[in-house]
Structure 1
Amino acid sequence: MLVLVASIPSPSSSSLHIGPLRVTAYGLMIGLGIAAAVWLAGRRAEARQVASSDDIAAIGMWAVAGGLVGARLYHVLTDWDRFASDLGAIPAIWRGGLGIPGGLAGGVFVGLLAARRRGIDVRVMLDIAAPAVALAQAIGRWGNWWNQELFGRPTSLPWALQIDDAHVPAGYASGTTFHPTFLYESMWSLALCGVLLLVDRRMSLRPGRLFVLYLGGYFLGRVWIEGLRIDPAPDVAGLRWNQWLSIAVLVGVVVFLLVGRVRGASARSDVDVGPDESAVGSEPSEVS
């Protein structure tokens, strides 16, 4: 039986040269992800007639700035040993090192402030942004491929990732192939974007619920993807810090949805208290 073995090659350089210009591929992927997210969110906002695409672009600029600051701070704080002796490396985001949980927190906070200043309901803004954020993550994760970073454990699967000798972690032989966790997360985020768009089209959810579903879907993926990664990271009780954070977010999402369901059922029961009380004790109508 013929066995076909393949693998995903890594790029020979993390930069692209366009004439005299040198563009870091990591930054390019992030930029493309942001552009796609603003485009999708703008279309969704105009379809709902709550804001123009120009409004979304302006909000997006603020959200991106907040997201980049939050993402870098999260990465620095959770990998402080790497930066403690080289504080000048903290702003060097073009070398990689952005923590998505911090990026989400910073981007959502600043973006919602900008939306509120423009008179947009923040819950509606969250729902508009939910699939767009997932799309941005699906594209942006390819920056890790260009930088040959954040891959997983060794594997011989046909889609294993090749790493050049300069990036192979200590203790692994030259030619070892690894799980392409960037690809797993990219595909997961792209599928999540599609699911959120489908849910938004087929179901009628209360404002803000679609973003809650995004959080649940995204961090569910992070639980198992983080479990494959081998890059150094703080761990507690055998799980990486990001896995515990993802589990905490998932618990919060489940509790939020359950409480909302119970409150909704209680509100309906308060309304449906029985027969129409206005008919009790009323005089029978005359029939002519």
Structure 2
Amino acid sequence: MELAFIPSPSRGVLNLGPIPLRGYAFCIIIGVFVAVWLGNKRWIARGGRAGTVADIAVWAVPFGLIGGRLYHVITDYQLYFSDGRDWVDAFKIWEGGLGIWGAIAFGALGAWIGARRRGVPMPAYADAVAPGIAFAQAIGRWGNWFNQELYGKPTDLPWAVEITSSDGGRVPGTYHPAFLYESLWCIGVALLVIWADRRFKLGHGRAFALYVAAYCAGRFWTEYLRVDDAHHILGLRLNNWTALLVFLLAVVYMVLSARMRPGRETVVEPGAEAADGAGADGADGAEKDADAAPANSSDAEEPKEPKDSKVAEDSEKEGDPAAPGGSGESEAAAADPADGVRDLKDGADSARKG
């Protein structure tokens, strides 16, 4: 007899008046909010604008939900299209059944569309939201607890999950809580990506690739624990092969990206810095002004002698009574002609310095 276990809820929906609040959907919604919130903070820290992550998520989230459902329905088609099954159930997403592989693939497609519309580099955006996605998965896995699904082999461990529903061929008993293992693993993945990103300044999609590789490593063993029906290839569940393939692709991407594009992006969103008052445009403008200005005062063209000085010299030569030094000069100038010469010289020097 088990000393302790994790009880499953008797039902996965809570009716708030006429509004049904389903635990599965609630967990997904909370996870999305956490992913957007954390992604927004990381995006701003990397030089992006507030609100960009949410704007792109408007595209990514619906695509992700559609992709996740498609992957689940295609890989478990017997649940909806075999004899005695109702194909309409394939659209009942609230009853559970989202494949993370399809969700990430289609979600990335939606994010690419949104990022392209905003002029944002997709790899930089993926790096910013990677830890948030892992946290969202950790929260979303508790939706499986509400639906009494995603459990492993029978066990009498104190943290075993109790399954009471017999729907879908379930056998009541206590099992390994695979959903809990994966939830804890996803939290660890998120913390790993945050640490590695700070430590190694990951860029150009490498933080996202690290998240994918780390998640796949954990998904491989949690998937191995599961006992629900699934397609097998060479003795392994289909999702095990998917996790292995995606893991290898993520590792290869990290290695090639580090060699071809080391470092991190300096600008993740055009115009974001200028909008914050410390933009790259202003710095570029200052550099352009500095380049346009002479590097040394000796390189500048020496100003021409003022016309007034030239006229004064000509008038003096011709004996113009109105010119200094002429027959009509003031008594002070006549008393000391050198003063007038010095004044002309000082005026010419001032003009040159000006």
5+ residue gaps, structure 2: 263-354
1:188 is the counterpart of 2:185: yes
How far off is 1:263 after superposition? Answer: 5.3
1: CA distance, partners of 2:92 / 2:98:
10
CA contact (8 A) 2:14 2:20 kept: yes
What does 1:131-210 align with in structure 2 at a 5 Å threshold?
131-167=131-167, 169=169, 172=171, 174=172, 176-210=173-207
Letter in 1 for 2:48: V
- The one-letter amino acid of 1:215's match is V
Whether contact under 8 Å (1:112, 1:125) holds in the other structure is: no
**1:112-136 CA distances to partner (integer Å, 9 max, x unpaired)?**
2201210111110010011011011
Q: What is the CA RMSD across the aligned residues, in angstroms?
A: 1.9
8 A contact 1:72–1:102 mirrored in 2: yes
Where do 4+ consecutive residues of structure 1 move more than 2 Å?
17-21, 165-170, 253-265
1:102 corresponds in structure 2 to 102
Q: CA deviation at 1:56?
A: 1.4
Whether 1:62 aligns to 2:59 is yes
1:118-159 per-residue CA deviation (whole Å, 9 max, x = no partner) reads 011111001001101101101011000000012111011110
1:112, 1:122 within 8 Å by CA — same for their partners in 2?
A: yes
Match of 2:313 in 1: none
| Equivalent in the alignment of 1:240 | 237
CA–CA distance in structure 2, aligned partners of residues 117 and 35 of structure 1: 22
Q: TM-score, normalised to structure 2's length? A: 0.70
C-alpha contact 1:16 1:25 (8 A) present in aligned 2: yes
Q: CA deviation at 1:168?
A: 8.4
Q: Aligned partners of 1:256 and 1:38: how far apart in 2? A: 25
Alpha-carbon distance, 1:21 to partner: 2.2
- CA shift, 1:4, in A, is 8.4
Instruction: Tell me what 1:22 maps to.
Output: 20
Q: Is the 8 A contact 2:6 2:162 kept in 1?
A: yes
Q: Contact between 2:224 and 2:240, CA under 8 Å: does it hold in 1? A: yes
1:283 alignment counterpart = none
2:57 and 2:111 in contact (8 A); partners too? yes
1:87 CA displacement: 2.0
Q: Does 1:72 align with 2:69?
A: yes
SS in 2 for 1:90: helix
Aligned length: 259
Q: 1:83 to 1:169 in 2, by over 3 A?
A: closer
Q: Find out whether 1:46 has 2:44 as its counterpart.
A: yes
TM-score relative to the length of structure 1: 0.85
Indicate conservation of the 8 Å contact 1:233/1:240, yes or no. Answer: yes
Specify the code of the residue in structure 1 equivalent to 2:234.
Answer: A
Give the SS at the match of 2:202: coil
Q: Which residue of 2 aligns with 1:128?
A: 128
**Matching residue within 244, 248, 266 for 1:251:** 248
**Which stretch shifts more, 249-258 or 96-105?**
249-258
Q: Contact 1:50–1:120 (CA<8 Å) still a contact in 2?
A: no
> What is the percentage of aligned positions where both structures have the same residue?
43
Write the deviation string for residues 192-246 of structure 1: whole angstroms up to 9, x where unpaired.
Answer: 1111111112222232110110110011111000000011111101100000011
Q: What secondary structure is seen at the aligned counterpart in 2 of 1:188?
A: helix
Partner Cα separation in structure 1 for residue 165 and residue 69 of structure 2:
27
